[in-house]
Amino acid sequence: MTEPVTPGSTGPAPADPLLAELLTLALEAGRRAGALLRDGRPDDLAVAATKTSPIDVVTEMDLAAEKLITGYLSEHRPHDGFLGEEGAASPGTSGVRWVIDPLDGTVNYLYGLPTWAVSIAAERDGETVVGVVAAPLRGETYHAVLGGGAYVGDRRLAARPSPPLDQALISTGFGYLQHRRAHQADVAQRMIPLLRDIRRGGSAAIDLCDVAAGRLDGYYERGLNPWDLAAGDLIAREAGCLTGGRPGEPASGELTVAASPGVFAPLQELLEEHGAWHD
């Protein structure tokens, strides 16, 4: 669900000069990394390393994209901090920290599937104030500034009107550890009869943006890291969605939930009932 803004723009410029600068840098870093990943993917792309399990992979392109992003941002803002999936970590001294997933949906990318994205968020004094998710094979870049709304390109995003839960299309994801995946599959199996259907796209950042864009009624997942959700969570909230974790708690690695306002609480309660927050 979108409403038009000025054609050719990326939405109104933030009034705060710092936020305007951070948004401009995040958009350009996302564009450059997205182009690198799209155009530079070798035909014989190989796994460079594994993380939590043999199916939780890092490719050479993850590493190259994170190096590009951190290098570009450091060039323009040398005193900022970083938290990146592939190892970038520094506290910085400016009060600004960049939270980066250079390739969200690595397994999709490895297999040549299109659902992957570059996710870049900027925090100021611990609060996420800018989020950018670039999805090059969709030809879309989502972005939001705290208090300024969410956009895909020049179109403003709005949460989908909320249906009853049994008519809601919900997306989820599965972790890489076998015991966690088994429990997540069990939760999904019990929930499917209570929903319109469940989707599994393989990129948390894109799932959150799809909730923001009204392409999904909701999304949940256990086991996300800060870089998986920082940008997408802000984009969803600025589109009018609700986000959180277990009832009364913020989104976290324990559980992340995002949905249109009328779907959020019933979905959250159902997830609590079925133990989606534990393995």
Taking Cα atoms as reference points, which of 167, 164, 183, 187 lies closest to residue 273?
187
pLDDT above 90 (res 54): no
Q: Where are the domains of the chain?
A: 2-157, 165-273
How far apart, in whole angstroms, are the C-alpha atoms of residue 32 and residue 198? 33
Distance, CA of 97 to CA of 100 (rounded, Å): 10
Q: pTM for this one?
A: 0.93
Q: Calculate the CA 95 to chain-centre distance.
A: 22
Backbone angles phi, psi at 34, to 5 degrees: -60, -40
DSSP 175: -
Q: What is the pLDDT of residue 161?
A: 97
Query: Are both 2-157 and 165-273 of the same fold?
Result: no
**What local confidence, expressed as pLDDT, does residue 55 receive?**
61
Other Cβ atoms closer than 10 A to 259? 28
List all residues 6 or more positions away from 39 whose beta carbon is below 8 Å from its beta carbon.
none
Q: Are 122 and 94 in contact (CB under 8 A)?
A: no
- CA atoms lying within 13 Å on the CB side of residue 268: 22
Res. 9: pLDDT tops 60 = no
Which of these, 120, 144, 123, lies nearest to 34 by C-alpha position? Answer: 120
List, for residues 75-107, the tens digit of each pLDDT value. Answer: 999 999 999 988 878 999 999 999 999 999 999
CATH of domain 165-273: 3.40.190.80
Please report which confidence band the pLDDT of residue 56 belongs to, taking 50, 70 and 90 as the band edges. low
Q: Which residues contact 268 (CB under 8 A, 6 or more apart)?
A: 244, 246, 247, 257, 259
- Render pLDDT for 195-220 as a digit per residue (tens, 0 to 9): 999 999 999 999 999 999 999 999 99
Give me the mean pLDDT over the 106-118 stretch: 94
CATH homologous superfamily for the domain 2-157: Fructose-1,6-Bisphosphatase, subunit A, domain 1 (3.30.540.10)
Q: What pLDDT, on a 0 to 100 scale, did the predictor assign at position 52?
A: 74
Question: pLDDT of 226-238, one tens digit each?
Answer: 999 999 999 999 9
- Return the SS3 of 133: strand
Average pLDDT over the chain, rounded to an integer:
93
